[in-house]
Amino acid sequence: MLGLQEGDSVFNILGGGFIIMNPDGSGKMVQPNAQGPDVSALDKHPALRQKVEELEELHHDCRYESNFKPWVKKSKEVADVADQLEKLAKKLTDKGQKSGLLSTASDLCCRQAIALRSEEKHAESLEQAKKALELARGADDE
pLDDT at 123: 94
Type of residue found at 58? L
Percent of the chain with pLDDT over 90: 17
| Residue 21 binned pLDDT confidence (cut-offs 50, 70, 90) | low
Mean pLDDT value of segment 81-85 = 91
DSSP-based three-state secondary structure for 1: coil
Mean pLDDT value of segment 56-69 = 78
DSSP string, 34-83: TTSTT--TGGG-HHHHHHHHHHHHHHHHHHHHT--HHHHTTHHHHHHHHH
What is the CB neighbour count within 10 angstroms for residue 69? 11
Distance CA 8, CA 39 (A): 24
pLDDT over 60 (residue 102): yes
Task: Identify any residues that bridge with 29 across adjacent strands, giving them in sequence order.
Answer: 19
The pTM (predicted TM-score) of the whole model is 0.68
Contact between residue 91 and residue 85 where contact means Cβ atoms under 8 Å apart: no
